[in-house]
Structure 1
Amino acid sequence: MIQLFDTNLNPYNTQLKRRFPDKCLRAPKNSPYMVKWLIMHTIDDTRKLAQLLLKDKKIDRDGFALIVYRLSESEKSKTNVKGSGNKSPGHRNGDGKAITFIAEQKVRMSGKKDKIITDEDILKSLSSQFKIPYKKLDPLDLDIDIVTRTIPKPYALKHMILPLYEKGGELFVAIIDPESQDTIDGLAHVTGKKIRPALATPDDIMRIVHEFFGFKTSVINAEKEMHGQEIDLGNLEQLNQIKRPDEIGSNDQHIKNAVEYLFNYAFKLRASDIHIEPKRETSIVRFRIDGSLNDVYTIPKGVYQAIASRIKMLARLNIAEKRRPQDGRIKIEHGDGTAEIRLSTMPTAFGEKLVLRVLKAEFLLRDMESLGFFPEDQIKMEKFLNCPHGIVLVTGPTGSGKTTTLYSALGFLSHPEKNIISIEDPIETICDSFNQVAVQPAIGLTFAASLRTILRQDPDIIMIGEIRDSETAENAIQAALTGHLVLSTLHTNDTTSTITRLLDLGVEPYQINSAVIGIVAQRLVKMICPDCIRTISIEKEKLAVFGVTTDKNSVEIKEGSGCEKCRFTGYFGRTSVYEVLEINSEIRTMIHKNKTSMEIRKYALKSGMTTLRDSAVRKMLNGVTTMAEVLRIGYEL
């Protein structure tokens, strides 16, 4: 016989005794009566939470009845399990099980047939009832040191509490139970700070606890093991002090864990690039998300070299070589599929800077409809691609989405009857539907040399990653003139200046007239977040700058107000804006007469060509992007 509230019986007995002080019973340790009593009282939290959602009109009576029924079924199954006296018998809001249980029932929200209530909806309802703000946790807004040094990981998981940041002598924390005053008081006593709670979902808290504590623990353990083994790279003179590969510790389990945390974190935040930058005392990790760089981690100086070596080893690079730039590739499997990472290293004043480009096939190989073409421009583009021979050029600065357009075009053209070969430096992502050649200048395999060989491989379609010199330009033109469809890129600002660039590379006007069938210029603009999109009014005088005329005093456009999904930026994802120039007979005549690019552009505009800026303005008026993005595009042009 034991006392019901013996702390050895159940981890929640202390809280039960506080809530039910009059229930001091004695019963056999595994007594069905005792187990049933515990269940009947601990499931009160779930039923109470369901009643609150019903009162708040988040669910209707049918949804409430469904939750209560499934709760009773859960109760029956637990009372029938032998030896369950030592296990958590019910669903408590304090550990998130009540919230999770209700969310798992997939109950429809009241008045919204297509909307299932989620843990976020439940927390927002609790927020309004208890006057505690709800916060969607964004890892980029959190300080890893504050999160990991304030409380230990077991305490954070047991009480489902997460320190967020300090401000004005106050500690802001995330909790899931608005009635967890004992936990808040205890934390205030330990830290000596006033606690400001906010509600967050159990999944968010557990995810950040595991990621932050996992990464921090790996880095700390690695730093301890490597203590006294660091190389001081505080100045350029010491860059040639290279450790042997077996001294770096890149095979250490803590380093492996830290790198895996880094990759998983990047995938979760939709990062397109990972920057690891060595500084004088520490190293900084930054992610590029939707075109903007964000600081993520600070790595101790002693651990940076091991992490860099581990990443270089995964990319099959020479980890002992730190004086010369290197390029490599890593293929990673993760929860959402596979991703290819392109690694570039470069020696800087304080060590090697690593940049990892995250590439996913589903982002590069897209349907033509999803790229951002307007219908009339998409018709022109598909007309270019359906030509049996000729050259199609895609232009724009670095990072403007040219590669995505080219890969999507190859996907559009891919067919068993076609022999498609690409020449790339480096290969962006491996695609089984066409043959890919990686340029290797060190052994003489340049774009021009590869192209000469490819012409003997019976190709139908050739993709050249970039036309960089006159020899490549000449060979590309010759390939187009000899019955092949050629796709390639150039770095120019717009479509008509591409003609001038080809002339500068030594291509004759008659060759341009005979080979080039179309030119596409493009830029990337950020898209408005669909979850926080709102309507604003803009005076017609401001729109006149973009060439928009109207009889109204103002025009309604869209912008993002900022929400949890977009990390309060107002943007989520990017799309392309295009300028498509078809080389028709009139333009060929103008090229033959050595007309300037401005004269050609004036004719193209009269013929109905949509400029990059006009395309961006049109997307703004359609509610896809914002005025700020249109201004940015206009500034670049």
Structure 2
Amino acid sequence: MNHRNSSVAKRVTQAMRALPRDHFIEMSDPSLVVGRIIPPTNAISEILQHATIMPEHKVLLVGTGAGYVAAVTSKLAAQVVALEIDSTMANQAQLRFNELGLRNLVQRTGDGTAGAADLGPYDRILVSTPRVADKAELIAQLADGGLLLAIEHGENNSPILTRYEISELGATLRKELAMVDFSRDTGMTLLDMGMVDQVMLSEARRVARDKKLPVIKVLRDKLNMEDATLYKRLAEEKAMPFATIEELLPQVQPELMEGFSRSFLDSHHLIPLKADGHSLQVATDDPDSSIGDIFHMYPYQAVDKVLVTPNDFKRLWTTVELSLQGNAEQLWTATAKLKEEQEDLLDGEKNKVEAHLITLCDALLVEAVSEGASDLHIEQYKHRVRIRLRVDGDLHDLNQYKLSPQDARGLINVIKIRGDMDIAEKRLPQGGRSQLTAGGVNYDLRIQVQPSLHGEAAVIRMLPQSGNIVAIEDLGMTPKLMKDYRRLLQNPSGLVLVVGPTGSGKSTTLYAGLSELAKDGRRKVLTIEDPIEYSIEGIQQTWSRPDIGFSFADGMRSFVRLDPDVILVGEIRDTETALEAIRASQTGHVVLSTLHANDAVDALQRIYDLQVHANSIASELMAVISQKLAKRICPECRREVEPDPAILAELFPESVPDSFRCYEGAGCEACNGRGTKGRVAVVEYMQVNSEIRTGISLQYPIARLRATALDCGLVTMRDSALAHVVDGTIPLSELPRVLPSERMAPEKRGAW
């Protein structure tokens, strides 16, 4: 008996391998939802093994569907008759049978109740449709010793495989054989949806098993589809609700997380959202995640799963964690402030702070961090609230966040509380600061709230305080400029300025130099910064605190008594700091600092404006590095393209060099379809020599001083930008963004 069962199982397995399911999924009529018509592999295998079909048998199948089960059965039996009520489905199945050369298979259309007596009798009859309630006519078509197997509904509507046979006395015997599991895992679901083939699924299962990952996480990387679209379709197929983080945030009860083991939630890919009595709702990014253990470990009688995308799952997890860390303090602060100020407010409701708004604020900050944004913008207009992130220099809308005016007011109040501002004051601009830790990185948040026509607007600047320091090799400098920069750092004294607009990477360039100085134990390096953006081992760093009377200038005066070799001052923003920087250089120190200026030569005018004597500048200034950031082409989708004729005409008024090439990103998953990923510095470098020193001392007009610098080898921003374009680092379209129109064409050298 065991040998017979083993033999049957082997034949069923071989038949199923010989006929891959995807042959019956890729049908010519796209309107057919074929995947739902094919039972999962494990269910088919179990039914056919119970049927014990022999090579000499004639089989009747009632409910053909896509035809896959009938085709597999034809590999086991001598003849198969298939009945399907849907004529379109039956015709599609017949086409597949013909293509596969299945000559022992007859397809008919009908509801199956009457069977096909003219082609009987049958050794086996398999009924897969619940429409056939009365099986008397079918049983009458069984051959001697024949069996009828049907899927029927048992307790709780669960599918049960039932066997009918005729006894020697002519009685119909019924026996329930087993419950059949018709649930499909995600891999099988995607296969039945026609989104993957059997080879891809088998490989994904192997990788998932080796890496201990859910199959969906492996397959989603191979599918060229937006996560939201993929997971919505999966939710539909699996009859699960799908939701976005924006829909879930107002319902989240963060305190639920504290009642669960983190390792349990992590291993099961679950986040508890809300509980109502004995029922629990959880979010998951794995459609196959099991909730069975919850019933054994926690006092819930019902658990509902909501499917979310992996990105929303991570954001949701981090948001709940942040809420647990900050809710108590923030809510207490909010309540206290409101209580103090309620008597002075005309409309207390406008200043309401609800827990879900704190969670929403955290979610927006997490979104900004995950996107690598430098700024988060919240703006109110007449008919909408707009939320945007500045990523790689450009603003991008977060359209998934739909806020009402009331929500926007509450969110602004949360931001004000976080920045220690007055929530009752709505007439004047306010500024504040806060801290955030996300992904193991500390962020200093610079918050500015501004009154506007339709309500207050807020901008939060995200300044990472720790992370990977960019190496000099990754700054975007040519090999010669890197060599010159390193040489500047080795000088015994002098002033080096890195200039550019806000957010142009000036600090990054200085930190790259500091990281190399930190490795040289023979020199002492001190910094005064606001804020300290990176912690560097081997360098003494100090945070400027002007609120308590400790400014950049105060730090400089103190530093010269600490025997330093190199001093970094975060920014020269006033006369006092500029004079202290010059004095520190004159007393034998290398001084590094930043300045807001449009280009390397324009920096001199800025220092003149700070009332520093021209001779002092001329004697101490070693070099000026001016820079702006350009978007870097995504290396995963970079391709060579034809240049824009209008930009070419500006760049090369006379003729385009034969060697000129340009590239762009096509857009891919790695860059979120933008074609660019990250930014790189476009640098202008002015090394101060004797001729330039003379021009500074005599305070040449800026135009003449620039001409002198050009004659002395000034590396212009145009030179650097073109090198990046030809190398395929930045797209040609970035040049008008980093170069003013008068600097697009080559500048004339030898004018003086």
- State the number of aligned residues: 508
* Candidates 449, 473, 490, aligned match of 2:595: 490
Q: Which is bigger in relative contact order (C-alpha 8 A, separation at least 6)?
A: 1
Q: Is the aligned partner of 1:410 residue 2:514?
A: yes
Q: Relative to structure 1, is the Cα distance of residues 526 and 594 closer, same or farther in structure 2, using a 3 angstrom cutoff?
A: same
Q: Relative to structure 1, is the Cα distance of residues 403 and 547 closer, same or farther in structure 2, using a 3 angstrom cutoff?
A: same
Q: Is the aligned partner of 1:206 residue 2:312?
A: no
Give the aligned partner of residue 188 of structure 2: 46
Query: Secondary structure of the residue that 2:309 maps to in structure 1?
Result: helix
Give the aligned partner of residue 613 of structure 1: 718
* Candidates 585, 592, 600, aligned match of 2:697: 592
Q: Is the aligned partner of 1:370 residue 2:474?
A: yes
Larger Rg: 2
Q: Is the aligned partner of 1:386 residue 2:490?
A: yes
Task: Report Cα offsets for 1:550-592 as digits up to 9, x if no partner.
Answer: 7876843211222333333322211101111111233223333
Q: How far apart are the structure 1 equivalents of 2:395 and 2:423?
A: 27
What's the % identity of the aligned pairs? 28
Give the aligned partner of residue 730 of structure 2: 625
Give the aligned partner of residue 348 of structure 1: 451
Task: List aligned pairs for 1:216-231, cutoff 5 A.
Answer: none
Q: Is the aligned partner of 1:271 residue 2:413?
A: no
Deviation, 1:274, is 0.8
Q: 8 Å contact 1:346–1:354 — kept in the other structure?
A: yes
Query: Secondary structure of the residue that 2:488 maps to in structure 1?
Result: helix
Deviation, 1:402, is 1.3
Task: Report Cα offsets for 1:382-428 as digits up to 9, x if no partner.
Answer: 11112222111011122222122223332232256654333334554
Q: How far apart are the structure 1 equivalents of 2:185 and 2:350?
A: 56
Q: Is the aligned partner of 1:24 residue 2:134?
A: no
RMSD: 5.1
Deviation, 1:329, is 2.5
Unmatched tracts of structure 2, length 5 or more: 1-35, 44-62, 66-127, 130-148, 163-175, 246-284, 289-306, 320-326, 335-343, 744-752
Q: Is the aligned partner of 1:438 residue 2:552?
A: no
Task: List aligned pairs for 1:82-121, cutoff 5 A.
Answer: 100-101=214-215, 104=218, 118-121=219-222
TM-score, normalization by structure 2: 0.57
Deviation, 1:42, is 4.5
Q: How far apart are the structure 2 equivalents of 1:514 and 1:429?
A: 31
Query: Secondary structure of the residue that 1:24 maps to in structure 2?
Result: strand
* 505-514 or 518-527, larger mean C-alpha shift: 505-514
Q: How far apart are the structure 2 equivalents of 1:286 and 1:30?
A: 50
Give the aligned partner of residue 671 of structure 2: 566
Deviation, 1:480, is 0.9
Q: Relative to structure 1, is the Cα distance of residues 414 and 157 closer, same or farther in structure 2, using a 3 angstrom cutoff?
A: farther
Q: 8 Å contact 2:526–2:564 — kept in the other structure?
A: yes
Give the aligned partner of residue 326 of structure 1: 431
Query: Secondary structure of the residue that 1:474 maps to in structure 2?
Result: helix
Query: Secondary structure of the residue that 2:221 maps to in structure 1?
Result: helix
Deviation, 1:341, is 3.4
Deviation, 1:615, is 0.6
TM-score, normalization by structure 1: 0.66
Q: Relative to structure 1, is the Cα distance of residues 575 and 539 closer, same or farther in structure 2, using a 3 angstrom cutoff?
A: closer
Give the aligned partner of residue 415 of structure 2: 311
Q: Relative to structure 1, is the Cα distance of residues 600 and 347 closer, same or farther in structure 2, using a 3 angstrom cutoff?
A: closer
Q: How far apart are the structure 2 equivalents of 1:355 and 1:541?
A: 35
Q: How far apart are the structure 2 equivalents of 1:537 and 1:159?
A: 47
Task: Report Cα offsets for 1:514-540 as digits up to 9, x if no partner.
Answer: 211111000100111223221123489
Q: Relative to structure 1, is the Cα distance of residues 49 and 31 closer, same or farther in structure 2, using a 3 angstrom cutoff?
A: closer
Q: How far apart are the structure 2 equivalents of 1:392 and 1:68?
A: 56
Q: Is the aligned partner of 1:401 residue 2:515?
A: no
Task: List aligned pairs for 1:155-554, cutoff 5 A.
Answer: 158-159=239-240, 206-207=309-310, 241=345, 248=351, 250=353, 252-279=354-381, 283-296=385-398, 297-317=401-421, 319=423, 323=428, 325-332=430-437, 334=438, 336-349=439-452, 350-361=454-465, 365-415=469-519, 418-428=523-533, 433-440=539-546, 442-538=547-643, 543=648, 545-547=650-652
Q: 8 Å contact 1:255–1:307 — kept in the other structure?
A: yes
Q: 8 Å contact 1:421–1:462 — kept in the other structure?
A: yes
Q: 8 Å contact 1:340–1:429 — kept in the other structure?
A: no
Query: Secondary structure of the residue that 1:615 maps to in structure 2?
Result: helix
Q: 8 Å contact 1:422–1:462 — kept in the other structure?
A: yes
- Amino acid aligned to 1:295: D
Q: Relative to structure 1, is the Cα distance of residues 54 and 564 closer, same or farther in structure 2, using a 3 angstrom cutoff?
A: closer
Q: 8 Å contact 2:345–2:424 — kept in the other structure?
A: no
Give the aligned partner of residue 144 of structure 2: none
Q: Relative to structure 1, is the Cα distance of residues 424 and 352 closer, same or farther in structure 2, using a 3 angstrom cutoff?
A: farther
- Amino acid aligned to 1:46: M
Task: Report Cα offsets for 1:487-520 as digits up to 9, x if no partner.
Answer: 1122222112222332332222321222111110
* 461-470 or 515-524, larger mean C-alpha shift: 461-470
Task: Report Cα offsets for 1:220-256 as digits up to 9, x if no partner.
Answer: xx9xxx9xx9xxxxxxxxxx84888x99554x43223
Q: Relative to structure 1, is the Cα distance of residues 541 and 330 closer, same or farther in structure 2, using a 3 angstrom cutoff?
A: closer
- Amino acid aligned to 1:337: G
Task: Report Cα offsets for 1:311-338 as digits up to 9, x if no partner.
Answer: 3444455555654522212131x3x322
Q: How far apart are the structure 2 equivalents of 1:202 and 1:632?
A: 45
Q: How far apart are the structure 1 equivalents of 2:471 and 2:583?
A: 30
Q: How far apart are the structure 2 equivalents of 1:32 and 1:262?
A: 51
- Amino acid aligned to 2:442: A
Deviation, 1:44, is 11
Query: Secondary structure of the residue that 1:591 maps to in structure 2?
Result: helix
Query: Secondary structure of the residue that 2:628 maps to in structure 1?
Result: strand
Q: How far apart are the structure 2 equivalents of 1:365 and 1:436?
A: 18
Q: How far apart are the structure 1 equivalents of 2:161 and 2:714?
A: 80
Q: 8 Å contact 1:540–1:553 — kept in the other structure?
A: no
Q: Relative to structure 1, is the Cα distance of residues 212 and 51 closer, same or farther in structure 2, using a 3 angstrom cutoff?
A: closer
Q: How far apart are the structure 2 equivalents of 1:566 and 1:399?
A: 21
* 540-549 or 501-510, larger mean C-alpha shift: 540-549
Q: How far apart are the structure 1 equivalents of 2:535 and 2:369?
A: 19
Deviation, 1:53, is 9.1
Q: 8 Å contact 2:544–2:552 — kept in the other structure?
A: no
Q: How far apart are the structure 2 equivalents of 1:156 and 1:306?
A: 38
Q: How far apart are the structure 1 equivalents of 2:592 and 2:207?
A: 62
Task: Report Cα offsets for 1:455-487 as digits up to 9, x if no partner.
Answer: 344443322222223222112101111122211
Q: Relative to structure 1, is the Cα distance of residues 209 and 569 closer, same or farther in structure 2, using a 3 angstrom cutoff?
A: closer
Q: How far apart are the structure 2 equivalents of 1:544 and 1:614?
A: 16
